[in-house]
Amino acid sequence: MPFLVHHFPGLLLLLLALLLLPPPTASSSLARRAPAALPGFRRLGTRVPAGSPGRRPAPTGAPYSGASEPGEARSAGVCKSRPLDLVFIIDSSRSVRPLEFTKVKTFVSKIIDTLDIGEADTRVALVNYASTVKIEFNLQTYSDKQSLKQAVARITPLSTGTMSGLAIQTAMDEAFTVEAGAQGSPSNIPKVAIIVTDGRPQDQVNEVAARARASGIELYAVGVDRADVESLKMIASEPLSDHVFYVETYGVIEKLSSRFQETFCAMDACMLGTHQCQHVCISDGKGNHHCECSQGYTLNADKKTCSAIDKCALNNHGCEHICVNDRTGYYHCECYEGYILNEDRKSCSAQDKCAFGTHGCQHICVSDRAGSHHCECYEGYTLNEDKKTCSAIEEARRLISSEDACGCEATLVFQDKVSSYLQRLNAKLDDILEKLQVNDYGQAHR
């Protein structure tokens, strides 16, 4: 080494530079020979507008990054996988090397991680195929993620031919049956199959796939490396841009798991704020929602906006006297004049204004049975026009005399009557006083 340093310093620096260069990745080395983008065919790294059942809406043209981790959408609190009958159909033919087959099983496990697994949620089955077909487990076999992933890990490759059509036919005839755990048509649970292959089918896959799609199975085709693109397009459901995937190597296939998470993700419109409910948005946790209204309001025909309920018009308000609508859709009770609202805020009781001292009568307040009252005056007084104050009868006579200067006969007759009444009254008073004086004098001289 000292010899090289002394005599060939440039060669040593070149060797060090080569050692420090990063090794070429598998994807970059294969990128030059990957198929070109074709109509109805999607390579990892692009996103198209939403279209397939269960797909989460996404902005058109938004870039897709394969770096998202399983559960990323769920951590945002807006995503929950919808219930599915999901069958994986994986190619384990001779062309799939053991390490590559392990990558496929990792891909399947990562998709399972993103799903809500359970008898009432998503059920998963797996069909392993080459020249023969083997159902590794049915939809009803496992009902939890851990058991499913352990079962996937135990699968071994079959290592012969590529009978893709036979595999799809077996899935349709055996895996998607009620006996095998499928939830059946009345439940409206979608039937979905994901087929993963790296070769060209050796049977008539197009006819079988067409029958599977016609039976209601939604088919996704994932091609790897040497996969025949035209065969993938014959297998997959429409639109092909949503159902056909291609990756250059098994080394990056697991990145597609996040893409399928988005595909099977049910959006929570209530949390996203896209519900358009005027008052309250209620989510069922499975991507569906409905609108409700605050108390005192009713939902309109559009199922989104609300109108105030006129409970007074509905006549179920319970007010004894008067119902008054408030602007907020509520109401309150009031009572007729002379009544007060009781503690129940609905019934009314007669108000005794005479007892409360709020009557305004100058002399006497008289309560009426109807909860009202009227004013009266002491003897020798008359009630004025305001029905509250009183005036002495002599004063009333002067008022009448001054107000009626015309000297009409009726007024004069009234004045004479009043004068005669006062004279008789005075005579009585004089008589009473005289008797009192005589009585007092007799007692004083006894």
DSSP states of 186-218: GGTPPEEEEEEESS--SS-HHHHHHHHHHTTEE
Q: Does pTM top 0.85 for this prediction?
A: no
Q: Which fold has domain 361-414?
A: Laminin (2.10.25)
Mean residue pLDDT of the chain comes to 78
Task: For residue 406, count other CB atoms closer than 10 A to its CB.
Answer: 7
Cα–Cα dist 392/394, whole Å: 6
pLDDT value, residue 30: 31
Tell me what the mean pLDDT of segment 137-165 comes to: 94
Look up residue 82 and give its two tokens.
């919808």
Residue 294: CB partners within 8 Å, gap ≥ 6?
279, 280, 306, 329
For the ranges 60-74, 214-228, 403-417, the lowest mean pLDDT is seen at 60-74
Tell me the range of 69-73, 74-78, 326-330 where mean pLDDT is highest: 326-330
* Band of residue 16 on the pLDDT scale cut at 50, 70, 90: very low
Which CATH entry fits the domain spanning 322-360: 3.40.50.150, 2.10.25.10, 1.10.3720.10, 3.30.70.141? 2.10.25.10
Would you say the CATH fold of 361-414 matches that of 33-267? no
CA 353 to chain centre: 53
Euclidean distance between CA atoms 285 and 271, whole angstroms: 11
If one counts every other C-beta atom within 10 angstroms of the C-beta of residue 100, the result is 18
The stretch 355-364 carries a mean pLDDT of: 83
325 burial via Cβ count (<10 Å: 0-12, 13-18, 19+) = middle
Task: Compute the distance between CA of residue 192 and CA of residue 190 in angstroms, rounded to an integer.
Answer: 6
Q: Angle formed by the axes of helices 256-263 and 98-113, to 10°? A: 30
The pLDDT of residue 47: 29
> Which residue from 281, 236, 229 is spatially nearest to 43, judged by alpha carbons?
229
**Long-range contacts of 408-415, Cβ-Cβ distance < 8 Å, separation of 24 or more:** none
- Give residue 409's pLDDT: 67
| pLDDT tens track for 154-212 | 999 997 889 999 999 999 999 999 999 998 766 678 999 999 999 899 998 999 999 99
Q: Report how far apart, in Å, the C-alpha atoms of 104 and of each of 135, 202, 217, 361 are.
A: 16, 21, 22, 99
The fourth-level CATH superfamily of domain 275-308 is Laminin (2.10.25.10)
b/e per residue 158-178 (b: at least 16 CB within 10 A):
beebbbbbbbbbbbbebbbee
pLDDT in tens, 268-323: 778 767 788 999 998 876 667 899 998 778 899 999 999 888 878 878 888 999 99
Per-residue pLDDT of 315-359, as tens digits, reads: 888 899 999 988 766 889 999 887 889 999 999 988 777 877 778
Domain spans of the chain, in order of start = 33-267, 275-308, 322-360, 361-414
pLDDT in tens, 18-54: 444 444 433 333 333 334 444 444 444 332 323 333 3
Distance CA 234, CA 360 (A): 97
| Residue 30 CB neighbour total at 10 angstroms | 15
Three-state DSSP class for residue 223: strand
163 near 203, Cβ under 8 Å?
A: yes
Looking at domain 33-267, which of 3.40.50.410, 1.10.3720.10, 3.40.50.150, 3.40.50.720 is its CATH number? 3.40.50.410
Query: DSSP letter string over 132-191?
Result: SEEEEE-TTT--SHHHHHHHHHT-----S---HHHHHHHIIIIITSTTTT---GGGTPPE
Burial tier of 245 (Cβ tally within 10 Å: 0-12, 13-18, 19+): buried
Structure tokens at 253: 């296939």
pLDDT tens readout for residues 378-402: 988 999 999 999 998 876 566 555 5
Q: Any residues with CB less than 8 A from the CB of 391 and at least 6 apart, and which?
A: 381, 382, 384, 399
